[in-house]
Structure 1
Amino acid sequence: MADTIPPSVPRLVDKLRSNSRPALIWYGQDGERVELSGRVLDNWVAKTANLWVDELDLAAGDVVALGDDLHWRSLAAVLGTWRMGAAVRAVDPLDGGAEAGDRAVVGLVDAQGAPPPLLDRVPPGARAVLLDRPALSLGYRGDLPGGDVLDYCAEVRAHADVYAGLEEPAPDGAALAGTEGVLEHGRLLPAAGELGAERESSWGRASAVHVPGRRMDTELLLRVLAVLAGGRAVVVTDRPADPADAAWRSVLAAENATAF
Protein backbone atom coordinates (compact mmCIF):
# COMPACT_ATOMS: atom_id res chain seq x y z
CA MET A 1 0.00 0.00 0.00
CA ALA A 2 2.81 2.41 0.87
CA ASP A 3 4.01 2.22 -2.75
CA THR A 4 0.63 3.08 -4.27
CA ILE A 5 -0.79 5.87 -2.14
CA PRO A 6 -0.74 9.42 -3.58
CA PRO A 7 2.32 11.50 -2.66
CA SER A 8 0.42 14.21 -0.80
CA VAL A 9 -2.95 15.12 0.68
CA PRO A 10 -3.80 17.43 -2.27
CA ARG A 11 -3.24 14.53 -4.66
CA LEU A 12 -5.32 12.25 -2.43
CA VAL A 13 -8.12 14.82 -2.57
CA ASP A 14 -7.80 14.90 -6.36
CA LYS A 15 -8.19 11.12 -6.35
CA LEU A 16 -11.34 11.37 -4.23
CA ARG A 17 -12.91 13.78 -6.72
CA SER A 18 -13.50 11.03 -9.26
CA ASN A 19 -14.99 8.63 -6.71
CA SER A 20 -18.78 8.44 -6.50
CA ARG A 21 -18.63 5.66 -3.90
CA PRO A 22 -18.82 6.37 -0.15
CA ALA A 23 -15.59 7.79 1.28
CA LEU A 24 -16.66 8.97 4.75
CA ILE A 25 -19.50 7.53 6.85
CA TRP A 26 -20.33 9.29 10.11
CA TYR A 27 -22.38 8.02 13.05
CA GLY A 28 -23.24 10.56 15.75
CA GLN A 29 -24.34 9.99 19.33
CA ASP A 30 -27.91 11.04 18.55
CA GLY A 31 -28.26 8.40 15.84
CA GLU A 32 -27.24 10.62 12.91
CA ARG A 33 -25.73 8.90 9.91
CA VAL A 34 -24.00 10.96 7.23
CA GLU A 35 -22.50 9.46 4.09
CA LEU A 36 -20.16 11.48 1.89
CA SER A 37 -18.97 10.15 -1.44
CA GLY A 38 -15.43 10.87 -2.51
CA ARG A 39 -16.70 13.65 -4.76
CA VAL A 40 -18.75 15.26 -1.98
CA LEU A 41 -15.89 14.97 0.53
CA ASP A 42 -13.61 16.62 -2.03
CA ASN A 43 -16.15 19.48 -2.31
CA TRP A 44 -16.13 20.02 1.46
CA VAL A 45 -12.35 19.96 1.56
CA ALA A 46 -12.13 22.51 -1.26
CA LYS A 47 -14.79 24.74 0.26
CA THR A 48 -12.96 24.66 3.60
CA ALA A 49 -9.62 25.50 1.98
CA ASN A 50 -11.22 28.40 0.12
CA LEU A 51 -12.93 29.62 3.30
CA TRP A 52 -9.64 29.59 5.19
CA VAL A 53 -7.90 31.56 2.45
CA ASP A 54 -10.69 33.97 1.48
CA GLU A 55 -12.17 34.77 4.90
CA LEU A 56 -9.31 34.12 7.34
CA ASP A 57 -6.38 35.10 5.09
CA LEU A 58 -4.60 31.88 5.99
CA ALA A 59 -1.55 30.85 4.01
CA ALA A 60 0.68 27.79 3.74
CA GLY A 61 2.65 27.42 6.95
CA ASP A 62 0.02 28.97 9.22
CA VAL A 63 -1.26 26.99 12.21
CA VAL A 64 -4.91 26.13 12.86
CA ALA A 65 -5.74 25.06 16.43
CA LEU A 66 -8.67 22.66 16.19
CA GLY A 67 -10.67 21.18 19.02
CA ASP A 68 -10.03 17.45 18.92
CA ASP A 69 -13.70 16.39 19.11
CA LEU A 70 -14.32 13.83 16.39
CA HIS A 71 -17.00 14.86 13.90
CA TRP A 72 -17.27 14.65 10.13
CA ARG A 73 -17.02 18.45 9.89
CA SER A 74 -13.87 18.41 12.01
CA LEU A 75 -12.34 15.92 9.57
CA ALA A 76 -13.32 18.15 6.64
CA ALA A 77 -11.65 21.05 8.45
CA VAL A 78 -8.45 19.03 8.92
CA LEU A 79 -8.32 17.93 5.28
CA GLY A 80 -9.13 21.45 4.09
CA THR A 81 -6.31 22.84 6.21
CA TRP A 82 -3.83 20.38 4.73
CA ARG A 83 -5.19 21.04 1.23
CA MET A 84 -4.14 24.69 1.43
CA GLY A 85 -0.80 23.92 3.06
CA ALA A 86 -1.39 24.98 6.66
CA ALA A 87 -0.80 22.94 9.81
CA VAL A 88 -3.28 21.42 12.25
CA ARG A 89 -2.80 21.24 16.00
CA ALA A 90 -5.58 19.23 17.63
CA VAL A 91 -6.24 20.45 21.18
CA ASP A 92 -8.53 19.61 24.06
CA PRO A 93 -11.59 21.86 23.58
CA LEU A 94 -11.89 22.34 27.36
CA ASP A 95 -8.26 23.32 27.65
CA GLY A 96 -6.55 26.62 26.90
CA GLY A 97 -4.90 24.87 23.98
CA ALA A 98 -4.65 27.79 21.54
CA GLU A 99 -1.22 29.42 21.52
CA ALA A 100 0.32 32.70 20.48
CA GLY A 101 0.99 32.52 16.76
CA ASP A 102 -2.06 30.41 15.92
CA ARG A 103 -3.95 32.01 13.04
CA ALA A 104 -7.30 30.29 13.61
CA VAL A 105 -9.02 28.51 16.49
CA VAL A 106 -11.76 26.10 15.43
CA GLY A 107 -14.24 24.61 17.89
CA LEU A 108 -17.22 22.25 17.66
CA VAL A 109 -20.33 23.01 19.70
CA ASP A 110 -20.92 20.55 22.51
CA ALA A 111 -23.71 17.98 22.76
CA GLN A 112 -25.98 20.57 24.39
CA GLY A 113 -25.37 23.07 21.57
CA ALA A 114 -23.05 25.40 23.48
CA PRO A 115 -19.80 26.77 21.99
CA PRO A 116 -16.65 25.24 23.51
CA PRO A 117 -14.59 27.24 26.02
CA LEU A 118 -11.77 26.98 23.50
CA LEU A 119 -13.32 29.87 21.58
CA ASP A 120 -13.25 32.10 24.66
CA ARG A 121 -9.45 31.98 24.67
CA VAL A 122 -8.43 33.01 21.19
CA PRO A 123 -4.95 34.55 21.09
CA PRO A 124 -4.35 37.97 19.50
CA GLY A 125 -4.15 37.80 15.73
CA ALA A 126 -6.23 34.62 15.48
CA ARG A 127 -9.81 34.18 14.26
CA ALA A 128 -12.40 32.02 16.01
CA VAL A 129 -14.44 29.56 13.93
CA LEU A 130 -17.52 27.71 15.19
CA LEU A 131 -18.51 24.31 13.80
CA ASP A 132 -22.12 23.40 14.46
CA ARG A 133 -22.80 19.81 15.49
CA PRO A 134 -26.12 18.79 13.79
CA ALA A 135 -25.30 16.90 10.62
CA LEU A 136 -27.34 19.07 8.26
CA SER A 137 -26.91 22.42 10.01
CA LEU A 138 -27.03 25.48 7.75
CA GLY A 139 -25.76 27.74 10.50
CA TYR A 140 -25.45 27.97 14.26
CA ARG A 141 -28.89 28.52 15.79
CA GLY A 142 -27.70 29.98 19.08
CA ASP A 143 -25.97 33.23 19.92
CA LEU A 144 -22.42 33.32 18.65
CA PRO A 145 -19.80 33.90 21.33
CA GLY A 146 -18.57 37.44 21.80
CA GLY A 147 -15.86 38.71 19.49
CA ASP A 148 -15.28 38.10 15.81
CA VAL A 149 -16.49 34.51 15.39
CA LEU A 150 -16.99 32.94 11.97
CA ASP A 151 -19.94 30.54 11.62
CA TYR A 152 -18.48 27.74 9.52
CA CYS A 153 -21.79 26.16 8.50
CA ALA A 154 -23.29 29.48 7.44
CA GLU A 155 -20.24 30.63 5.48
CA VAL A 156 -18.63 27.57 3.92
CA ARG A 157 -21.42 26.81 1.44
CA ALA A 158 -20.79 30.06 -0.46
CA HIS A 159 -17.25 29.06 -1.37
CA ALA A 160 -16.09 27.29 -4.50
CA ASP A 161 -16.15 23.51 -4.87
CA VAL A 162 -12.64 23.52 -6.35
CA TYR A 163 -9.53 24.83 -4.63
CA ALA A 164 -7.21 26.54 -7.10
CA GLY A 165 -4.45 27.55 -4.70
CA LEU A 166 -0.97 26.12 -4.31
CA GLU A 167 -0.24 22.88 -6.07
CA GLU A 168 1.72 21.21 -3.27
CA PRO A 169 2.52 22.20 0.32
CA ALA A 170 6.22 22.29 1.15
CA PRO A 171 7.19 18.68 2.03
CA ASP A 172 9.19 19.85 5.03
CA GLY A 173 6.47 22.21 6.26
CA ALA A 174 4.65 21.37 9.50
CA ALA A 175 1.33 19.60 8.93
CA LEU A 176 0.28 17.95 12.20
CA ALA A 177 1.44 18.87 15.68
CA GLY A 178 0.68 16.41 18.46
CA THR A 179 2.04 15.09 21.70
CA GLU A 180 4.35 12.85 19.67
CA GLY A 181 5.93 15.81 17.90
CA VAL A 182 5.42 17.48 14.52
CA LEU A 183 4.71 15.59 11.31
CA GLU A 184 5.59 17.30 8.03
CA HIS A 185 3.37 17.44 4.94
CA GLY A 186 5.74 15.13 3.11
CA ARG A 187 5.38 12.49 5.84
CA LEU A 188 1.60 12.48 6.25
CA LEU A 189 0.69 9.92 3.62
CA PRO A 190 3.86 7.80 3.92
CA ALA A 191 3.20 7.49 7.66
CA ALA A 192 -0.46 6.66 6.95
CA GLY A 193 0.64 4.10 4.37
CA GLU A 194 2.87 2.38 6.91
CA LEU A 195 -0.08 2.03 9.30
CA GLY A 196 -2.35 0.78 6.55
CA ALA A 197 0.18 -1.74 5.28
CA GLU A 198 0.23 -3.36 8.71
CA ARG A 199 -3.53 -3.96 8.67
CA GLU A 200 -4.75 -4.02 5.08
CA SER A 201 -4.36 -7.77 4.69
CA SER A 202 -6.89 -8.30 7.47
CA TRP A 203 -9.53 -6.10 5.85
CA GLY A 204 -10.33 -8.63 3.15
CA ARG A 205 -13.18 -7.61 0.85
CA ALA A 206 -14.68 -5.05 3.22
CA SER A 207 -15.63 -1.84 1.42
CA ALA A 208 -15.34 0.26 4.60
CA VAL A 209 -13.09 0.35 7.67
CA HIS A 210 -14.10 1.61 11.09
CA VAL A 211 -11.41 3.77 12.69
CA PRO A 212 -11.98 3.66 16.47
CA GLY A 213 -11.50 6.62 18.74
CA ARG A 214 -13.40 9.71 19.78
CA ARG A 215 -10.53 12.21 19.71
CA MET A 216 -8.57 13.40 16.69
CA ASP A 217 -5.08 12.52 17.80
CA THR A 218 -2.22 11.82 15.41
CA GLU A 219 -2.86 8.08 15.16
CA LEU A 220 -6.57 8.45 14.40
CA LEU A 221 -5.95 11.02 11.68
CA LEU A 222 -3.25 8.86 10.08
CA ARG A 223 -5.59 5.87 10.15
CA VAL A 224 -8.29 7.92 8.44
CA LEU A 225 -5.79 8.90 5.73
CA ALA A 226 -4.70 5.27 5.35
CA VAL A 227 -8.26 4.10 4.72
CA LEU A 228 -9.03 6.91 2.26
CA ALA A 229 -5.75 6.37 0.40
CA GLY A 230 -6.56 2.68 0.12
CA GLY A 231 -9.81 3.43 -1.70
CA ARG A 232 -12.19 2.31 1.06
CA ALA A 233 -14.74 4.29 3.03
CA VAL A 234 -13.78 5.31 6.54
CA VAL A 235 -16.40 4.90 9.27
CA VAL A 236 -16.07 7.26 12.25
CA THR A 237 -18.27 7.95 15.24
CA ASP A 238 -18.38 10.16 18.33
CA ARG A 239 -20.28 7.53 20.28
CA PRO A 240 -18.91 4.42 21.99
CA ALA A 241 -18.41 1.68 19.42
CA ASP A 242 -17.96 -1.56 21.31
CA PRO A 243 -17.10 -4.49 19.00
CA ALA A 244 -18.83 -6.79 21.49
CA ASP A 245 -22.10 -4.85 21.15
CA ALA A 246 -24.57 -6.62 18.86
CA ALA A 247 -26.10 -3.34 17.65
CA TRP A 248 -22.70 -2.02 16.61
CA ARG A 249 -21.83 -5.29 14.89
CA SER A 250 -25.04 -4.92 12.88
CA VAL A 251 -23.99 -1.39 11.87
CA LEU A 252 -20.64 -2.69 10.61
CA ALA A 253 -22.37 -5.51 8.77
CA ALA A 254 -24.77 -3.07 7.10
CA GLU A 255 -21.81 -0.94 5.97
CA ASN A 256 -19.77 -3.99 4.89
CA ALA A 257 -17.15 -2.60 7.25
CA THR A 258 -14.37 -4.14 9.29
CA ALA A 259 -12.26 -2.74 12.13
CA PHE A 260 -8.94 -1.04 11.56
Structure 2
Amino acid sequence: MNATDRTPADLLRSALAADPARPLVTFYDDATGERVELSVATFANWVAKTANLLQDELNAEPGDRLALLLPAHWQTAVWLLACSSVGVLADVGGAAADADLVVSGPDSLDAARACSGERVALALRPLGGRFPQPPDGFMDYAVEVPSQGDRFAPYAPVDADAPALAVDGVELTGAEVVRRALADAAELGLGPGGRLLTGRSYDTWEGLSAGLFAALAAGGSVVLCRNLEQVAEGGLEKRIESERVTLTVD
Protein backbone atom coordinates (compact mmCIF):
# COMPACT_ATOMS: atom_id res chain seq x y z
CA MET A 1 0.00 0.00 0.00
CA ASN A 2 1.09 3.58 -0.69
CA ALA A 3 0.24 6.55 1.48
CA THR A 4 -1.93 7.94 -1.32
CA ASP A 5 -4.12 4.83 -1.58
CA ARG A 6 -7.64 5.81 -0.55
CA THR A 7 -9.87 3.30 -2.33
CA PRO A 8 -9.72 -0.47 -2.89
CA ALA A 9 -8.95 0.24 -6.56
CA ASP A 10 -5.95 2.29 -5.43
CA LEU A 11 -4.75 -0.67 -3.36
CA LEU A 12 -4.94 -2.92 -6.40
CA ARG A 13 -2.98 -0.45 -8.55
CA SER A 14 -0.25 -0.31 -5.91
CA ALA A 15 -0.13 -4.10 -5.66
CA LEU A 16 0.19 -4.33 -9.43
CA ALA A 17 3.05 -1.84 -9.48
CA ALA A 18 4.87 -3.58 -6.62
CA ASP A 19 4.76 -7.24 -7.70
CA PRO A 20 2.36 -8.22 -10.48
CA ALA A 21 3.43 -11.88 -10.50
CA ARG A 22 2.66 -12.75 -6.89
CA PRO A 23 -0.54 -14.65 -6.03
CA LEU A 24 -3.44 -12.53 -4.83
CA VAL A 25 -6.53 -14.78 -4.78
CA THR A 26 -6.51 -18.58 -4.73
CA PHE A 27 -10.03 -19.98 -4.85
CA TYR A 28 -11.27 -23.44 -3.88
CA ASP A 29 -14.76 -24.84 -4.24
CA ASP A 30 -14.91 -28.06 -2.26
CA ALA A 31 -18.27 -28.97 -3.78
CA THR A 32 -16.84 -29.14 -7.30
CA GLY A 33 -13.10 -29.65 -6.77
CA GLU A 34 -12.33 -26.37 -8.51
CA ARG A 35 -9.07 -24.53 -7.81
CA VAL A 36 -8.20 -21.21 -9.44
CA GLU A 37 -5.14 -19.11 -8.69
CA LEU A 38 -4.96 -15.51 -9.81
CA SER A 39 -1.80 -13.44 -9.67
CA VAL A 40 -2.09 -9.72 -9.04
CA ALA A 41 -1.70 -9.13 -12.78
CA THR A 42 -4.35 -11.67 -13.78
CA PHE A 43 -6.78 -10.43 -11.15
CA ALA A 44 -6.21 -6.81 -12.20
CA ASN A 45 -6.87 -7.78 -15.83
CA TRP A 46 -10.24 -9.30 -14.88
CA VAL A 47 -11.03 -6.16 -12.87
CA ALA A 48 -10.16 -3.89 -15.80
CA LYS A 49 -12.33 -5.88 -18.21
CA THR A 50 -15.22 -5.92 -15.74
CA ALA A 51 -14.90 -2.20 -15.04
CA ASN A 52 -14.98 -1.52 -18.79
CA LEU A 53 -18.10 -3.67 -19.04
CA LEU A 54 -19.69 -1.69 -16.22
CA GLN A 55 -18.81 1.70 -17.62
CA ASP A 56 -19.15 1.19 -21.38
CA GLU A 57 -21.73 -1.57 -21.83
CA LEU A 58 -23.89 -1.15 -18.74
CA ASN A 59 -23.56 2.66 -18.61
CA ALA A 60 -22.84 2.64 -14.89
CA GLU A 61 -21.79 5.94 -13.35
CA PRO A 62 -20.29 7.00 -10.02
CA GLY A 63 -22.97 6.89 -7.36
CA ASP A 64 -25.00 4.12 -8.98
CA ARG A 65 -25.99 1.23 -6.71
CA LEU A 66 -25.23 -2.32 -7.84
CA ALA A 67 -26.88 -5.21 -6.01
CA LEU A 68 -24.19 -7.90 -5.83
CA LEU A 69 -25.99 -11.21 -5.34
CA LEU A 70 -23.00 -13.54 -5.43
CA PRO A 71 -21.37 -15.92 -2.92
CA ALA A 72 -17.76 -15.79 -1.75
CA HIS A 73 -16.02 -16.48 -5.06
CA TRP A 74 -13.06 -15.15 -7.01
CA GLN A 75 -15.41 -13.53 -9.53
CA THR A 76 -17.21 -11.74 -6.70
CA ALA A 77 -13.87 -10.30 -5.61
CA VAL A 78 -13.36 -9.09 -9.18
CA TRP A 79 -16.74 -7.33 -9.18
CA LEU A 80 -16.01 -5.64 -5.86
CA LEU A 81 -12.84 -4.08 -7.25
CA ALA A 82 -14.49 -3.24 -10.57
CA CYS A 83 -17.20 -1.32 -8.72
CA SER A 84 -14.51 0.55 -6.80
CA SER A 85 -12.74 1.38 -10.07
CA VAL A 86 -15.87 2.95 -11.58
CA GLY A 87 -17.21 4.55 -8.38
CA VAL A 88 -20.28 2.32 -8.20
CA LEU A 89 -21.58 1.34 -4.77
CA ALA A 90 -21.45 -2.44 -4.39
CA ASP A 91 -24.41 -3.49 -2.25
CA VAL A 92 -23.54 -7.04 -1.18
CA GLY A 93 -26.73 -9.06 -0.92
CA GLY A 94 -28.76 -5.88 -1.39
CA ALA A 95 -32.32 -5.59 -2.60
CA ALA A 96 -32.39 -5.75 -6.37
CA ALA A 97 -35.52 -3.58 -6.51
CA ASP A 98 -33.57 -0.69 -4.95
CA ALA A 99 -30.55 -1.02 -7.25
CA ASP A 100 -29.68 0.62 -10.56
CA LEU A 101 -28.26 -2.67 -11.79
CA VAL A 102 -27.79 -6.17 -10.46
CA VAL A 103 -25.18 -8.91 -10.72
CA SER A 104 -26.49 -12.38 -9.90
CA GLY A 105 -25.28 -15.92 -9.52
CA PRO A 106 -27.31 -18.91 -10.73
CA ASP A 107 -29.06 -19.30 -7.38
CA SER A 108 -30.34 -15.73 -7.07
CA LEU A 109 -31.81 -15.07 -10.51
CA ASP A 110 -35.39 -14.83 -9.25
CA ALA A 111 -34.48 -12.19 -6.68
CA ALA A 112 -32.39 -10.33 -9.27
CA ARG A 113 -35.36 -9.95 -11.62
CA ALA A 114 -36.77 -7.31 -9.26
CA CYS A 115 -34.17 -4.89 -10.64
CA SER A 116 -35.57 -2.67 -13.39
CA GLY A 117 -32.10 -1.78 -14.64
CA GLU A 118 -29.35 -3.80 -16.29
CA ARG A 119 -28.99 -7.40 -15.13
CA VAL A 120 -25.84 -9.50 -15.37
CA ALA A 121 -25.68 -13.21 -14.56
CA LEU A 122 -22.66 -15.32 -13.66
CA ALA A 123 -22.78 -19.09 -14.03
CA LEU A 124 -19.91 -19.47 -11.50
CA ARG A 125 -18.72 -22.51 -13.43
CA PRO A 126 -15.08 -23.64 -13.34
CA LEU A 127 -12.70 -21.53 -15.42
CA GLY A 128 -15.28 -18.76 -15.63
CA GLY A 129 -17.51 -20.77 -17.95
CA ARG A 130 -20.73 -19.46 -19.43
CA PHE A 131 -24.30 -20.64 -18.96
CA PRO A 132 -25.30 -23.54 -21.23
CA GLN A 133 -28.49 -21.53 -21.82
CA PRO A 134 -28.35 -17.82 -20.90
CA PRO A 135 -31.13 -16.85 -18.47
CA ASP A 136 -33.83 -14.67 -20.00
CA GLY A 137 -33.41 -10.99 -19.27
CA PHE A 138 -29.75 -11.22 -18.25
CA MET A 139 -26.41 -10.53 -19.87
CA ASP A 140 -24.11 -13.54 -19.54
CA TYR A 141 -20.94 -12.17 -17.95
CA ALA A 142 -18.76 -14.97 -19.32
CA VAL A 143 -19.87 -14.16 -22.87
CA GLU A 144 -19.41 -10.39 -22.66
CA VAL A 145 -16.34 -9.81 -20.50
CA PRO A 146 -13.56 -11.42 -22.62
CA SER A 147 -13.89 -8.82 -25.39
CA GLN A 148 -13.55 -5.87 -23.01
CA GLY A 149 -10.39 -3.78 -22.87
CA ASP A 150 -7.44 -4.86 -20.73
CA ARG A 151 -6.90 -1.35 -19.36
CA PHE A 152 -9.41 0.82 -17.58
CA ALA A 153 -9.70 4.55 -17.04
CA PRO A 154 -12.80 6.03 -15.37
CA TYR A 155 -14.63 8.78 -17.21
CA ALA A 156 -14.97 10.66 -13.93
CA PRO A 157 -12.64 10.67 -10.90
CA VAL A 158 -13.72 8.34 -8.12
CA ASP A 159 -14.45 10.11 -4.84
CA ALA A 160 -12.87 8.18 -1.99
CA ASP A 161 -15.34 9.77 0.43
CA ALA A 162 -18.43 8.62 -1.48
CA PRO A 163 -20.28 5.42 -0.49
CA ALA A 164 -18.48 2.46 -2.05
CA LEU A 165 -19.63 -0.66 -0.22
CA ALA A 166 -22.81 -1.71 1.56
CA VAL A 167 -22.86 -4.93 3.56
CA ASP A 168 -24.98 -6.20 6.41
CA GLY A 169 -26.82 -2.89 6.73
CA VAL A 170 -23.71 -0.69 6.85
CA GLU A 171 -22.48 1.66 4.11
CA LEU A 172 -18.77 2.45 3.87
CA THR A 173 -16.87 4.91 1.74
CA GLY A 174 -13.86 3.77 -0.24
CA ALA A 175 -11.58 5.43 2.29
CA GLU A 176 -13.36 3.68 5.16
CA VAL A 177 -12.96 0.31 3.43
CA VAL A 178 -9.21 0.92 3.18
CA ARG A 179 -8.90 2.05 6.79
CA ARG A 180 -10.89 -0.90 8.10
CA ALA A 181 -8.94 -3.35 5.97
CA LEU A 182 -5.63 -2.01 7.24
CA ALA A 183 -6.83 -2.18 10.84
CA ASP A 184 -8.04 -5.76 10.37
CA ALA A 185 -4.75 -6.81 8.80
CA ALA A 186 -2.84 -5.35 11.74
CA GLU A 187 -5.14 -7.04 14.24
CA LEU A 188 -4.72 -10.39 12.48
CA GLY A 189 -0.97 -10.00 12.18
CA LEU A 190 -1.18 -10.17 8.39
CA GLY A 191 1.68 -8.40 6.66
CA PRO A 192 3.41 -8.33 3.27
CA GLY A 193 3.70 -11.83 1.85
CA GLY A 194 1.24 -13.24 4.38
CA ARG A 195 -1.22 -15.82 3.13
CA LEU A 196 -4.65 -16.00 4.77
CA LEU A 197 -7.03 -18.93 4.38
CA THR A 198 -10.71 -18.31 5.04
CA GLY A 199 -14.00 -20.10 4.58
CA ARG A 200 -16.13 -17.13 5.61
CA SER A 201 -19.00 -16.00 3.44
CA TYR A 202 -19.06 -12.57 1.85
CA ASP A 203 -22.29 -11.43 3.53
CA THR A 204 -20.54 -9.58 6.39
CA TRP A 205 -17.70 -7.09 6.60
CA GLU A 206 -15.65 -9.70 8.47
CA GLY A 207 -16.05 -12.12 5.57
CA LEU A 208 -15.20 -9.52 2.94
CA SER A 209 -12.18 -8.31 4.87
CA ALA A 210 -10.77 -11.79 5.51
CA GLY A 211 -11.64 -12.93 2.00
CA LEU A 212 -10.18 -9.97 0.11
CA PHE A 213 -9.67 -6.51 1.55
CA ALA A 214 -7.29 -7.17 4.46
CA ALA A 215 -4.88 -9.17 2.32
CA LEU A 216 -5.01 -6.59 -0.45
CA ALA A 217 -4.29 -3.76 1.99
CA ALA A 218 -1.46 -5.63 3.70
CA GLY A 219 0.35 -6.78 0.56
CA GLY A 220 -0.63 -10.38 1.23
CA SER A 221 -2.84 -12.93 -0.48
CA VAL A 222 -5.96 -14.93 0.30
CA VAL A 223 -6.92 -18.58 -0.07
CA LEU A 224 -10.69 -18.27 -0.42
CA CYS A 225 -12.58 -21.50 0.24
CA ARG A 226 -16.21 -22.08 -0.68
CA ASN A 227 -18.11 -25.07 0.73
CA LEU A 228 -15.23 -25.71 3.09
CA GLU A 229 -17.46 -27.98 5.18
CA GLN A 230 -17.22 -30.50 2.32
CA VAL A 231 -13.44 -30.74 2.34
CA ALA A 232 -12.21 -34.31 2.64
CA GLU A 233 -10.83 -35.54 5.96
CA GLY A 234 -7.30 -34.27 6.35
CA GLY A 235 -7.72 -32.11 3.28
CA LEU A 236 -7.63 -28.81 5.10
CA GLU A 237 -4.30 -29.55 6.75
CA LYS A 238 -2.83 -30.58 3.40
CA ARG A 239 -4.16 -27.41 1.79
CA ILE A 240 -2.67 -25.21 4.48
CA GLU A 241 0.69 -26.86 3.91
CA SER A 242 0.62 -26.90 0.11
CA GLU A 243 -0.62 -23.32 -0.16
CA ARG A 244 1.92 -22.10 2.41
CA VAL A 245 -0.81 -20.53 4.49
CA THR A 246 0.45 -18.34 7.33
CA LEU A 247 -2.92 -17.53 8.92
CA THR A 248 -6.39 -19.07 9.00
CA VAL A 249 -9.72 -17.55 10.03
CA ASP A 250 -13.03 -19.40 10.29
Normalised by the length of structure 1, the TM-score is 0.85
Partner of 2:12: 13
Query: Which moves more between the two structures, 14-23 or 76-85?
Result: 14-23
Partner of 1:108: 105
User: SS of 1:99's equivalent?
Assistant: helix
For residues 9-31 of structure 1, what are the alpha-carbon distances to aligned partners after superposition, in whole Å with 9 as ceiling and x for unaligned?
A: 22212123242011100001211
Which of 160, 165, 168 does residue 171 from structure 1 map onto? 160
Matched residues in 1 for 2:231 and 2:32: separation?
19
Verify the 8 A CA contact 2:199 2:226 in the aligned structure 1. Answer: no
Verify the 8 A CA contact 2:164 2:172 in the aligned structure 1. Answer: yes
Partner of 2:74: 72
Which of 131, 135, 145 does residue 156 from structure 1 map onto? 145
Counterparts of residues 1-260 of structure 1 (less than 5 Å): 6-18=5-17, 19-28=20-29, 29-91=31-93, 97-100=95-98, 102-110=99-107, 116-122=109-115, 124=116, 126-142=117-133, 144-147=134-137, 149-166=138-155, 168-200=157-189, 207-223=194-210, 224-240=212-228, 246-257=234-245, 258-260=247-249
Count, aligned residues: 244
Matched residues in 2 for 1:186 and 1:240: separation?
31
**Alpha-carbon deviation of 1:240?**
2.0
Normalised by the length of structure 2, the TM-score is 0.88
For structure 1, the residue ranges without an aligned partner over 5 or more in a row are none
**Alpha-carbon deviation of 1:80?**
0.6
Verify the 8 A CA contact 1:23 1:232 in the aligned structure 2. Answer: yes
Matched residues in 1 for 2:71 and 2:136: separation?
22
Amino acid paired to 2:105: L
CA separation of 1:51 and 1:206: change in aligned 2, threshold 3 A: closer
Matched residues in 2 for 1:116 and 1:174: separation?
26
Query: Which moves more between the two structures, 42-51 or 207-216?
Result: 207-216
Question: Quick check: which one's helix share is greater?
Answer: 2
Amino acid paired to 2:91: R
For structure 2, the residue ranges without an aligned partner over 5 or more in a row are none
Fraction of identical pairs, as percent? 27
Verify the 8 A CA contact 1:84 1:169 in the aligned structure 2. Answer: yes
Amino acid paired to 2:215: V
